[in-house]
A and B are shown apart, each in its own frame.
Chain A
Amino acid sequence: MKTESAPIHEGAKAKSRRRAVVAMATAFAVSFMAGVTPTVANAGIATSTVGSFSVAGNNYRNFARIATYPTSNHQASAFTHTAPNGFTAPVGWVGSRGRLFTSGGALSCEGINTYNPSSLASGSYHVAVSCIRNQVGTWYSYGVSRAWNGSGYNSVYTFLSPNQNS
C-alpha cells in the first residue's frame, strides 16, 4: 500500500503546482492588461502629456491633441498646441504644425506651420490643425512646435497623443 500511495501523492502535488502556475500567470496577464488599458484606442478627443522646452532663454509648453468622430463621417484630425510660458510672445514667435499619423506610424496628413498672428500671453496656446481625414481608422497626433530664436526658428516635437478610433 505504501509503495502505491507515494506516486499518487506526487501526482497530486504536481497537479497542485500546475494550478498554482496557472493562477499566477493569469494574475500577471490580467494585471498587465489593466496597466496597459489607458493606451487602448477610444473615440473622441485625447491629448498627449504637456511638454516643456526652452528656446533662446524663453520657455514654452506644447501638447498634441487628436480628435475623432466615428459618427460624424469618421472624421479624424490632429492639433498642435504651443504656448509661451512666463512671457508674452511677440507676433510670429510661436508656431505650430499638426501631423496626423495612422496607428501603423504612417504620416496620413501633414498640416502647415502657422504662427501667432497677434502677441500671445503666457499660457495662451497657438493652435494648428492637420487636414481632416474622413475614414475609419486608428490615429494619433504627433505635432511640431516652432519658436523664434532671434535669427530663425527652432522646431521641437510634442509628446505623442494616445490612439483614437474614427
Chain B
Amino acid sequence: MITESSASRRSLVLLTAGVLGCALIGLGAGTAVAQVPLLWAPAGLSAEDGRTTEVMVPEYPENSSGETYGSAAIAVSPETEPDLILVVATNGQTGYVKKVDLDSAQGPTEFKSPNEALEWHESMRGSEMTIPVYAQDGKTAVGQFVIYYPTAAEEAKALKD
C-alpha cells in the first residue's frame, strides 16, 4: 500500500533526478556552444591535442551582380572568403571591400623566393594603401579602408604592447 508520505518521497526523488539531469544537459550544451570555434576549424588546421575537425565551407549570399558578400571571419581559408568582405571603414561605416583589393595590399600573388617577400615588405614600410569600401551592391562607395605598412620602429613598439 502506498502511503501519502512515501508518494511524496518518491516525487521528491524524481524531481531531484530531473533537476540534476537538466543541469547536466544544460552544462553539456553550454560547453558545446563555447567550443563552436573549434568545430569551425580553418582548412588544414588541427588542434594541438590531436583533435581534427571537418572543414565546413561557408555559403555566402550573392548581390545582384553575382558577387558573394559577408564576413571573412567565417571563411576557413583565403579561398573560401567572399568576393566582398565585411569591414569597418575609416568613417565608422560598415561596408564591403573587394577581396582582390584587400589581397593586393599583401603584395604580388606569388613571390618567387622568401627573400623577395622580405624585400617587398621592407620596401613598403612607412607607406599605406587605401582601398574603397562599398555598399552590399559592390558599386556604391560608402568609405575607405586603409592598410598601413608600419616602420620597423612602429612595428617593434606595437609588438611590445
Contacts and interface: CB of A to CB of B under 8 A. Distances in A.
Interface string A107-134: 1101011110100000000010101100
Interface in B114-142: 114-115, 117-118, 121, 124
Contact of A27 (B23, B75, B150): B23
Given A28-B25, A91-B115, A144-B78, A114 B155 contact: yes
A110 B77 CA distance: 16
Contacts of B73: 101, 105, 107, 140, 142, 160
A51 B48 contact: yes
Interface string B3-35: 000000001001100111111111111111110
Contacts of A158: 42, 45
Nearest to B42: A157
A157 B19 CA distance: 41
B37 interface: yes
B56 interface: no
B158 A90 contact: no
Contacts of B147: 110, 112
A39 B30 CA distance: 10
B34 A36 contact: yes
Contacts of A49: 37-38, 47-48
B76 interface: yes
B37 A160 contact: yes
A24 B25 CA distance: 11
B6 to A, nearest CB: 16
A127 B155 CA distance: 10
Contact of B48 (A23, A50, A75, A115): A50
A92 B117 CA distance: 7
A50 B155 CA distance: 24
A102 B89 CA distance: 12
Nearest to A152: B110
Interface in B75-128: 75-78, 85-88, 94, 97, 102, 105-107, 110-111, 113-115, 117-118, 121, 124
B57 interface: no
A108 B148 CA distance: 13
Interface string B35-52: 001101111111110000
Interface of B: 11, 14-15, 18-34, 37-38, 40-48, 71-78, 85-88, 94, 97, 102, 105-107, 110-111, 113-115, 117-118, 121, 124, 145, 147-150, 155, 158-159, 161
Given A36-B33, A49-B48, 18 more contacts: A20-B15, A27-B23, A35-B31, A35-B32, A39-B34, A50-B47, A92-B118, A93-B114, A101-B71, A106-B86, A110-B145, A112-B106, A115-B114, A131-B150, A131-B158, A132-B158, A153-B117, A160-B40
